[in-house]
Amino acid sequence: MSDRVKGACLTMGGAACWGISGCMGQYLFTREGMDSTWLVPIRLLLAGLLLCGFYCARDRRLLFDPWNVKKNPRNALDLLIYGLAGVSCCQFLYFLTIQLSSAGIATILQDVSPVLILLAVCLQQRRSPRVFELLSILLALVGVFLLTTHGSFTSLVISPAALGTGLLSAVAVMIYTMWPKNLQKQYPTPMLQGWAFLMGGALFHLVFRPWEMGYLPGPVGVLGIAVVVIVGNVLAFSLYMSGVPLIGPQRASLYSFAEPVTAAIISTLVLGSPFTLWDALGFGCIFVMLVLLSLPAHPKPVNKF
């Protein structure tokens, strides 16, 4: 098997695991009576303990090195922003959107994040978007419009809260994608993820106090939590990040569309969520947007602002 095929299989497998995790979250919300403010703190804390525990056993000094403010005070601040404003907020907003709508809608709204990253890069480089970049922005807007209104200019088919939290989760993705570049040059990304999950889990436990909600999951609920943590965090991330070096980030972002496709199929066929022609058209627009953004940059100079 060539590296290209292997990389494609790994990235699509990781993305599909994220889609499965989102659908399991939808099942826990609709069938097991869980709430996102109960599930997300538990999920983040368990995933953080697993990853940080692994690195503690492997190299304890490396695990705690980002917090060495005498060595580099910037690292601790970067890790706090990456972990809390980026990863943790993304996780909470994503599952809250699932609870307010469905796994398919939540995932596709989050996939608008490449457009936000594009706009941020254009601002950083002080350049105007290229033609295909402008087209990708337009496709993202059209895709979100079709998914959330089904072509109507007067009403939404999902709640305004779901639309808001879904788009805010895309903002959080932009933060955790662009912010940790300095950290990723120094430390393994799974270790940084472990700290992000651990910090988010601790913070959300203090904010939401899940132990005061009086909810105790049954055997199916416990199994669902295990799927969300192991499949959605550990397995998905490991597969996806193993595939990215083999095919590059541009192709990986394209193959990551397996996540919303998986989520849409499972939520429709298994969980009974509606999926209409308008939804298919919206998905198509977002997919073409990802294809355009995966194209290599044109070498010609561009106009500056």
Q: Rounded CA gap, 22 and 96, in Å?
A: 11
Higher-confidence position of 187 and 256: 187
Integer Cα distance of 122 and 130 in angstroms: 10
Mean per-residue pLDDT for 52-72? Answer: 94
Q: How confident is the model at residue 121 (pLDDT cuts 50, 70, 90)?
A: confident
> Residue 305's pLDDT is what?
32
The pLDDT of residue 304 is above 60: no
State mean pLDDT over 230-240: 84
Name the residue ranges covered by the structural domains of the chain. 3-293
Considering the chain, what percentage of its residues have pLDDT values greater than 70?
Answer: 96
User: 57: burial class by Cβ within 10 Å (0-12, 13-18, 19+)?
Assistant: exposed
Q: How far is CA 200 from CA 203, 237, 245, 253, 261, in A?
A: 5, 17, 28, 25, 28
Q: Is 25 helix (H, G, I), strand (E, B) or coil?
A: helix
Residue 165's closest CA among 232, 115, 98, 222? 98
